[in-house]
Amino acid sequence: MGDTIFGKIIRREIPADIVYEDDDVLAFRDLNPQAPVHVLFIPKQPIATLNDATPEDAALLGKVLLAAADYARQEGFAQDGYRTVINCNTHGGQTVYHLHVHLLAGRRLSWPPG
Ligand code: 5GP
């Protein structure tokens, strides 16, 4: 896949408000937050979309999700609740083609989405 803005964030070529990092996962605040808490969790190894994930990516995708859940616990909003979203391709609203999990929290979120 081609490089994306998230690749530049991973390589520290552009700034981001990074809130979590380990060997496999990076998390940073969304530039255009849709809730009081809006953090993006990404695998450092890029996968363009969920369609492109393979069984070999299962552990990595699990790490991304578990990092989001750990963050929610650490930040104290796990009990109140939150939403995790992976947008895929045009109809899903994906704009950056480096798979990412949106973590949204801090207010009651409406459902269903528009
Ligand atoms: P998508 O629409 O692909 O599911 O989500 C992409 C998200 O990346 C959007 O919520 C958008 O606000 C965020 N975003 C796009 N460019 C940047 C950037 O340069 N820095 C940060 N922190 N977020 C970005």
- Mean pLDDT value across residues 18-24: 98
Residue-wise pLDDT for 74-104, tens only, equals: 999 999 999 999 999 999 999 999 999 999 9
**Is 100 designated active site?**
yes
Residue-wise pLDDT for 41-81, tens only, equals: 999 999 999 999 999 999 999 999 999 999 999 999 999 99
Rounded CA-CA distance 1/59 in Å is 20
pLDDT at 73: 98
pLDDT at 111: 95
Q: Which of 93, 89, 24, 92 shows the shortest CA–CA distance to 61?
A: 24
14 CA: nearest ligand 1 atom? 19
Domain 5-105, classified CATH 3.30.428.10, yes or no: yes
pLDDT at 100: 98
Domains of the chain by residue range: 5-105
86 CA: nearest ligand 1 atom? 4
CA–CA distance from 10 to each of 31, 43, 59, 94 (Å)?
15, 10, 20, 19
Residue 5 Cα to ligand 1 midpoint, Å, equals 8
Q: Which of 100, 106, 99, 64 shows the shortest CA–CA distance to 82?
A: 106
- Reading the block at residue 84, the tokens are 């995790």
